[in-house]
Amino acid sequence: MNMEVKIKGIYKHFKGNYYLVEDIALHSETLEKYVVYRQLYGNNEVYIRPYDMFCSLVDKEKYPHISQKYRFELQEIKKV
Question: What is the CATH number for 21?
Answer: 2.30.30.320
User: Which residue type does 34 have?
Assistant: Y
Q: Is 63 within the bounds of a domain?
A: yes
Average pLDDT, stretch 13-31?
A: 97
Q: Is 25 within the bounds of a domain?
A: yes
Q: Is 40 within the bounds of a domain?
A: yes
The count of domains in the chain is: 1
Residue 15: C-alpha distances to residues 19, 31, 37, 64 (Å): 12, 29, 16, 12
pLDDT at 78: 82
Q: What is the pTM of this model?
A: 0.89
The domain of 21 spans 10-74
Average pLDDT, stretch 36-49?
A: 97
Residue 1, pLDDT above cutoff 80: no
pLDDT at 67: 92
